[in-house]
Amino acid sequence: MVPGTQMKMKEAAALLKTRLRPESEEDQKVVQKGLMLYRQGMVHHLKYVGGSIWASVQDVTPVRVYLNFPDPEDSSCTCPAYGFCRHRMAAFFQAYAEIGSVADWVDEWRRPAKESLQAEEWGLQKAKELMKSASGHEKGYTLWTDNFTRSFNEIMLGQGKPNPYVIASLLQTYLRGVRAGAPSSPEWRTLYELIGRIYGFKQLAALTGELEHNSSTVNRYYRYLFDSLEDEIDDGIHSLSVNSLPFDFDEYIEALKDESAGLIDTADLFEYERANLYRMLWSGLFKQNSWREEERERLEAFGEGKRTMAENVALAHHYYLARRDRELFDFLKKLNDTPLSFLFYWLEDLGRQGDNARLGAYIEYMAGQMRPALASMQNHQQARDFTRLALRTAAPFFRNGGREELYEKLLNASLPFSYIEYEDFLFEKGSYEKWGELFTYTSFEYFTVPNDRVKVLQKEAPEVLLPLLHQAADGLILQKNRSAYKQAVRLLKKLRAAYKKLKRTPEWEVYFDKLLEKNKRLRAFHAECERGKLIVEKE
């Protein structure tokens, strides 16, 4: 083994252990099949080259594998599989066997999945025990919430502090217990499960703080649980809101309302999820005007700079519910720490309602805030994803006859991250001159224009092609090789045709004379021009 490679190999082994997820069925197959190929002796010609290894793997079809250390995901394989494949896994095992036990590596990697299964089995047994003493069929808000809190804590903490990779299994066990303990009446069952899920949400957020899990740990193992809970809670709210509720529900709904402030008074890793759940409840369940006015006044009374981000979003939401849109926009403009993504909730809600007048005003506000919002993002991919979501969320407004110029304003404000959508919009609209300006602005080359669009431009707006063809031809000539000259001549012939269609042949002749003079030392280029009959036809 090359000196220094052993340490890099250990780093790679540790990194790969975190990148491949034992709870993922796809990753399980990669490890299992890679292990099989390794144990069957299918890895050959393993070589160390600098900080990497090369190997051949004999599968149904032989393949060549390249692995970089210390990051094995920076690798390649000649097989058609996407991502880290079984052949790369087998080559890794072959190399790792020189410094450690492959069996131990696999056991350690599988441990989270085993512990998760064991935790789930233990949790199910615990849930059955709790079921025997549960009082779900008895009514009373405090009785229910005490049961939910006790059940959550005993399932989650009954075996000590849980590892992050078992939390998802334990939460599902808690939720199964909620469903199993619900009253038999459909209306009461819906209410019971709704409150149980809200308590699960709150308890899980609090537990994360107690366990001191950081954002990367939460994102990797269980942030998605909050999204799932919100979806289920939203379904429950909808079920309750479309039916006439029994008077007996009033005390439960009011108690939930009184506790909703606790969702947003904490600044933690879940402020977005907290604000979103709060908005769901106040939009769909807490509909009394007096309640909403009282809550809005409570939030306003805190004063500027004394609210959490979630409380700021909550106050803005009460302006939204009261249709005080101008106040909402003015309020958001004063805030520096509230992401524009919080606006999507209102856009989607107004789109569902078909309220195009208000929706247009919200899109106008969003368009005005896009540039600073995109500038604050960490990388290009994040900005691109945000732009795509913003355009998709605003799409119903424009499909229903919304102002076209507003859509263009939003596209323009989102550049360069909206280039794909803006380019499509301008071309389909027939704004070829603007399309050409956009194309030049983004520094794309002529060769990236699809052939069908080139044909349309040749017919409808040949003048738009002129700067693109000039730029592309000049770039090819600068490469100073025969292949590039041939391509340049093909483009020059298209350029000549465009000038001819525009009845500007004299301009072409002046340009071509200067081009030949400028490149008079490039004999191969002149030869290609003669072969392409550019020079002959000129003479």
pLDDT class of 539 with cuts at 50, 70, 90: very low
Greatest mean pLDDT range, 62-76, 95-109, 360-374, 524-538: 360-374
Closest CA to 135 of 124, 144, 125, 123: 144
**Alpha-helical runs (H) found in 335-379:** 343-353, 356-375
What single letter denotes the amino acid at residue 63?
A: V
Residue recorded with tokens 């040749």: 458
pLDDT at 210 over 50: yes
Q: What is the sign, positive or negative, of the torsion defined by CA atoms of 403, 405, 408, 412? A: negative
Q: In which element (H, E) is residue 67 found?
A: strand 63-68
By the 8 A CB rule, do 429 and 387 touch? no
| Averaged pLDDT of the chain | 87
pLDDT at 136 over 50: no
Report in angstroms the alpha-carbon separations of 30 from 38, 86, 87, 92, 267.
12, 5, 9, 12, 40
Q: Which of 33-37, 292-296, 361-365, 416-420 has the lowest mean pLDDT?
A: 416-420
By the 8 A CB rule, do 494 and 523 touch? no
pLDDT class of 21 with cuts at 50, 70, 90: confident
Q: Write the CB contacts of 107 (distance below 8 Å, at least 6 apart in sequence).
A: none
Q: Residue 219: what pLDDT?
A: 87
| CA pair distance 517, 99, nearest whole angstrom | 66
Q: How many residues does the chain have?
A: 539
pLDDT class of 316 with cuts at 50, 70, 90: very high
| CA pair distance 298, 229, nearest whole angstrom | 27
pTM of the predicted model over 0.95: no
